[in-house]
C-alpha cells in the first residue's frame, strides 16, 4: 500500500551556514533548498564533508559556537521561520516538535544515568506528564522501539546494553515526545548489517503508525533505496541533484550522482576492480568559482570553471520535481530519458 504523504511541514530556503576557522571563513552549507512533507522520508546523501550534518544542525540551530553561524536563508517549520525564534523558544522545538538521532549512541547517552532517567528527561521537559507517570511513559516508548523487557531495562545503564539496543534507546528518546519531524544522521553507521536491517524496519513501522516525517542522512545508496521517497545529493555544501528516488536511480543526470551510483558494487556480475571517484573534494575555504565538481568531472566544459550552473529540470518521463545543477542539461541530446 502506498504511503500517505501530506502537506509540506518543513521548507528550507537558500540556507547558508559559515564556519570561522584558522584557515579562514568557509561556507559549509551554501544555498541549500528543499522541502519535507508529512509522512515522507527525504534522504540526503554525499561524501563525508559535503555538508549533510551541518545542514541538519543548522535546521535545529545547534551549530558549534562561536565558530558556526547561519548567514542567510529561511527554515520554515509548520508555517513558522525557526530563525526568528529566541533560544528559549527553540528549546521547546528541539526534542518536542523536531528530534534528531545522532551517529554514535555511545556519545549520545550519559554513562552515569539510567536509561529510564534519560528517556524521561525529554518527556518531562516537553510534555505535561505527571511525575509518577514518567517511568510508565518511558517503558511504553522503549516497548515501541522493540526493546525487550523494557520495565527492567529502564533501570539499566548504557554500558549494560549492546550497540543495537543503545541505538534503539536513542531512537526512543527521539520519538518520546511524538515529534512531527525526525532527523536521523547516519544512525546505522555503527551497526552490523542484521541489526541495521531491523533498525530500518523499525523506523518504517513507527512512521506508518505516526505519519512521522524523516530526514535520513547517509552515504549508503542501499539505505536510500530501502527507506526514502525522495533524495537530495550534496557536494561541497550544495545540492547538485534532487528528485524522487526511482527517478534518481533510473536516470541520474549530474556526473557526481552518476559516479556515486557507479561506486556501489554490482552483486549480479563479477567486477575486476571496484570503481572510485578520482580526485578529492575541494577545500571549503578555497572553492572554485564555477561548479564544485569540475576538477573531478569527466564531462567538464570551459564554462563549468567560471559559472555555477542553475538547477535544470530533468527530462525523466515523470513530473516528480527531478532537478540537477549541470550545464550539460541545457543540451537536449543530454537531457533525455535514455541518455
Residue-wise pLDDT for 190-205, tens only, equals: 677 777 888 888 888 8
pLDDT band at 129 (very low <50, low <70, confident <90, very high): confident
pTM as predicted: 0.91
pLDDT cut 90: percent of the chain above it: 55
Q: How far apart are CA 238 and CA 256, in angstroms?
A: 12
Q: Is the per-residue pLDDT at 1 higher than 60?
A: no
For range 82-111, the mean pLDDT: 89
pLDDT of residue 66: 87
Q: Is the per-residue pLDDT at 231 higher than 70?
A: yes
CB 6 within 8 A of CB 61: no
Higher pLDDT, 38 or 3: 38
Higher pLDDT, 233 or 331: 233
Which positions ≥6 away from 193 have C-beta within 8 Å? none
pLDDT, averaged across the chain: 89
Domain boundaries, the chain: 8-228, 253-330
- The answer regarding whether domain 8-228 maps to CATH 1.10.10.10 reads no
For range 84-106, the mean pLDDT: 89
Q: Is the per-residue pLDDT at 178 higher than 70?
A: yes
Cell 551541518 identifies what position?
A: 54
The closest alpha carbon to 68, from 55, 77, 79, belongs to 55
pLDDT of residue 74: 96
pLDDT of residue 164: 82
Compute CA 291 distance to the chain's CA centroid, rounded to the nearest angstrom.
23
Higher pLDDT, 335 or 186: 186
Radius of gyration (C-alpha) of the chain in whole angstroms:
21
Give the pLDDT confidence of 281-339 residue by residue, as tens digits. 998 888 888 999 999 999 999 999 999 999 999 976 555 689 999 999 988 877 776 66
Higher pLDDT, 266 or 220: 220
For range 272-283, the mean pLDDT: 86
Backbone angles phi, psi at 282, to 5 degrees: -70, 150
* C-beta neighbour count of 304 within 10 angstroms: 22
pLDDT of residue 338: 64
pLDDT of residue 40: 95
pLDDT band at 222 (very low <50, low <70, confident <90, very high): confident
For range 23-41, the mean pLDDT: 93
Q: Is the per-residue pLDDT at 59 higher than 90?
A: yes
Give the pLDDT confidence of 146-159 residue by residue, as tens digits. 888 999 999 999 99
Which positions ≥6 away from 65 have C-beta within 8 Å? none
Amino acid at each position: 500500500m502506498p504511503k500517505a504523504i501530506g502537506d509540506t511541514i518543513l521548507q528550507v530556503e537558500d540556507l547558508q551556514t559559515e564556519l570561522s576557522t584558522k584557515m579562514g571563513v568557509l561556507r559549509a552549507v551554501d544555498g541549500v533548498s528543499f522541502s519535507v512533507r508529512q509522512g515522507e522520508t527525504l534522504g540526503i546523501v554525499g561524501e563525508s564533508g559535503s555538508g549533510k550534518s551541518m545542514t541538519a544542525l543548522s535546521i535545529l540551530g545547534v551549530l558549534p559556537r562561536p565558530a558556526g553561524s547561519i548567514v542567510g536563508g529561511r527554515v520554515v517549520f509548520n508555517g513558522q521561520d525557526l530563525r526568528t525564534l529566541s533560544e528559549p523558544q527553540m528549546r521547546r522545538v528541539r526534542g518536542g516538535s523536531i528530534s534528531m538521532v545522532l551517529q554514535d549512541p555511545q556519545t549520545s547517552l550519559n554513562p552515569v544515568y539510567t536509561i529510564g532517567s534519560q528517556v524521561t528527561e525529554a518527556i518531562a521537559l516537553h510534555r505535561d506528564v505527571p511525575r509518577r507517570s514518567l517511568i510508565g511513559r518511558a517503558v511504553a516508548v522503549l516497548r515501541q522501539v522493540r526493546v525487550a523487557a523494557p520495565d527492567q531495562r529502564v533501570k539499566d545503564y548504557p554500558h549494560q546494553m549492546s550497540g543495537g539496543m543503545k541505538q534503539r534507546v536513542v531512537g526512543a528518546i527521539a520519538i518520546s515526545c511524538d515529534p512531527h519531524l525526525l532527523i536521523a544522521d547516519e544512525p546505522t553507521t555503527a551497526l552490523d548489517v542484521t541489526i541495521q536491517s531491523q533498525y530500518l524496519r523499525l523506523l518504517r513501522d513507527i512512521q506508518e503508525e505516526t505519519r512521522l516525517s524523516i530526514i535520513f542522512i547517509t552515504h549508503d545508496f542501499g539505505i536510500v533505496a530501502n527507506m526514502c521517497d525522495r533524495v537530495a545529493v550534496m557536494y561541497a555544501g550544495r545540492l547538485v541533484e534532487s528528485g524522487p528516488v526511482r527517478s534518481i536511480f533510473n536516470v541520474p543526470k549530474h556526473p557526481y550522482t552518476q559516479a556515486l551510483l557507479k561506486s556501489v558494487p554490482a552483486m549480479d556480475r563479477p567486477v575486476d576492480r571496484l570503481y572510485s571517484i578520482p580526485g578529492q573534494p575541494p577545500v571549503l575555504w578555497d572553492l572554485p568559482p564555477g561548479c564544485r565538481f569540475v576538477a573531478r568531472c569527466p564531462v567538464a566544459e570551459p564554462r563549468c570553471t567560471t559559472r555555477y550552473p542553475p538547477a535544470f529540470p530533468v527530462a525523466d518521463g515523470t513530473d516528480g520535481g527531478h532537478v540537477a545543477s549541470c550545464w550539460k542539461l541545457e543540451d537536449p541530446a543530454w537531457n533525455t530519458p535514455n541518455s
